Structure 1
Amino acid sequence: MLSRTKKFVLIILIIYLLLITWQFVTAAKDGAGLIPTNGKAVDISVMLFFSIQPNGWNENIISLVMMLAFVPTFGTGLIIYFKNNNMFGAVQQRVGYHKFLKIGVINSFVVGFLFSLITNIYQFALISVFYYPFFFKTRPLKLYIGARPGYFSTNQLIDLCSYVTLAAVGWGIFAILIFSIGLFVSKNSIYLVLGPCVGLGLTLLSILISMGSKFWLFVSYSWFPFAVLAPGQFALGSRLPPINSYLLFMVVALLYLLFAAYLIKLWQKQKRRLG
């Protein structure tokens, strides 16, 4: 059983890496005409990197959905499996509720963080080796705002480091949220698609609500998943975030963590009452 599971995970990871590679190949082909012939340092590599992020002009929706599905599954799929298959009693007696939940939260965050970080490092490597080396410079503020909604900085190096770090943290937090919801899910198959359902559902809800006043625009951004999964990349309905992207990241991250903590406490209370 475990051997079969490992093979399945390996196959999924290979498919995911192939999709990321194909996304790069397509983007590099589109941007081949921008490569300078005289070796002059330009920022095309930074532009290409952000073009293959969520909401970039070369994004791959299939790899994004796969990431939404498998980040929570790789982190806590086995824990949810134990919970749903009459194995939880033995696990609970051995480690207790508190440690069981602690392991789930830590695994969720670590896997989400590393999955995002490794994905971006792999993209860096592809761009540097097969497209054009990275060079960094400061861009005019007006041009920067137009290029990326919800900007962080006009310095590309700082912006790139901020994006990669915050996105990794954001994926870890999102994985914790999915784990907390998954505690109330009794079917393993449902947990497998819970990430895409929650992520895309919250996105659709945010888009619909953002069409209202500035107050509702702020509300829609306050639970918008890609404010933490791809910070600074989105403008809902072409309307920029009403607050700085760093602050928006913290608002959404805090809301997700508070909601996850509430669900975890609620589940633990129910289990103790029933058990």
Structure 2
Amino acid sequence: MLKRTQKFVLIFLIIYFLMITWQFFIAAKSEAGLIPLKGKAVDISVMLFFSIQPNGWNENIINLVILLALVPIFGAGLLIYFKNNNMFSAVQQRIGYHGFIKAGIIRSFIIGVVFSLITNLYQLALINLFYYPFFFKTRPIKLYIGARPGYFSTNQLIDLCSYVILSAIGWGIFAVLIFSIGLFVSKNSIYLVLGPCVGLGLTLLSFIISLGNEFLLFLSYLWFPFAVLAPGQFALDSRLPPINSYLLFILVALLYLLLAAYLIKLWQQKRKLG
């Protein structure tokens, strides 16, 4: 069983990183005309990095769906499998409900953070090695808003670091949320697609509600998953977030954590009542 699982993990990791590499070379080819002939220092590498992020002009929805699925599966998939099968009683006797929940939260968060960091660092390495070396500068505010809808900073180095760090934390929080929902899922096959279903479902709901007035726009951003998964990248229905992007990240992250805590508490009470 362990060898089969290891093969499964290895195959999907290879497929995932091949998809990322393919996405990069497609994007680099489409933006090749921006590379200066005489080696002039320009900021095209930063622009290419954000172009392959969610909602970027070179994004790949397949990569996104794969990541939405892999992070929860690799994080707590094995624990959910134990819960849904006869092995759960043995796990519960050995570590108890508290240990089971603690392991699920920690593993989910760490895997989410690590997956996001590795993905973004790999993309940065590909760009630096095979496209153009990174060069950072401060861009005019108007130009920056025009390039990316929900911005953090007009300094590209600070913005790049903010995005990579916050996105990693956001993926960890999202993975914890999926784990908490997965506690109520009795079918392993459903958990395999739970990440994409929840992520894309919340995204669709946010886009629909954002079509209303300013208050509804604010509400739609509060549960919008990409406010934490890809902070600063989206403007719902071409309408900017009504609050600062840093504050929006904090609010959505807190909402997801509170919801996860409530679901975990509810599941524990349900198990105790039999």
Letter in 2 for 1:88: F
Q: CA deviation at 1:259?
A: 0.2
Structure 1: distance between partners of 2:96 and 2:4: 29
- Residues 26-57 of structure 1: CA deviation (Å, up to 9, x unaligned): 00001111111111110000000000000000
AA at the equivalent of 2:90: A
- For 1:68, the equivalent position in structure 2 comes to 68
Match of 2:197 in 1: 197
Q: Which amino acid aligns with 1:13?
A: L
Equivalence for 2:39? 39
Match of 1:262 in 2: 262
Q: What SS does the aligned partner of 2:75 have?
A: helix
Q: State the one-letter code of the partner of 1:30.
A: S
Aligned length: 274
SS at match of 1:127: helix
Written as runs of structure 1 = structure 2, the 5 A alignment for 1:134-153 is 134-153=134-153
Scaled by the length of structure 1, the TM-score of the pair is: 0.99
Q: Give the corresponding residue for 1:51.
A: 51
| Counterparts of residues 168-179 of structure 1 (less than 5 Å) | 168-179=168-179
How many angstroms apart in 2 are the aligned matches of 1:2 and 1:77?
14
Amino acid at match of 2:74: F
Consecutive unaligned residues in structure 2, runs of 5 or more: none
- TM-score norm. by structure 2 comes to 0.99
Q: Which runs of 5+ in 1 are unaligned?
A: none
Q: Which runs of 4+ in 1 moved over 2 A?
A: none
Distance apart, 1:222 and its partner CA: 0.2
**1:251 Cα shift?**
0.6
Indicate the residue corresponding to 1:78 in structure 2: 78
Q: What's the Cα RMSD here? A: 0.5
- For 1:128, the equivalent position in structure 2 comes to 128
Identity of paired residues, percent? 80
**Alignment-mate amino acid for residue 210 of structure 2:** S
Amino acid at match of 1:253: A
Alpha-carbon distance in structure 1 between the residues aligned to 2:258 and 2:204: 22
1:155 corresponds to which residue?
A: 155
Per the TM alignment, residue 176 of structure 1 is displaced from its structure 2 partner at its CA by 0.2
| CA shift for structure 1 position 272 | 1.1
Amino acid of the residue matched to residue 87 of structure 2? M
Post-superposition Cα deviations, 1:215-263, rounded to whole Å, max 9, x if no partner, equal 0000000000000000000000000000010000001000000000000
Displacement of 1:16: 0.4
Distance 1:208 1:41 in 2: 42
SS in 2 for 1:152: coil
Question: How far off its partner does 1:99 sit?
Answer: 1.0
The 2-side partners of 1:164 and 1:243 are apart by: 21
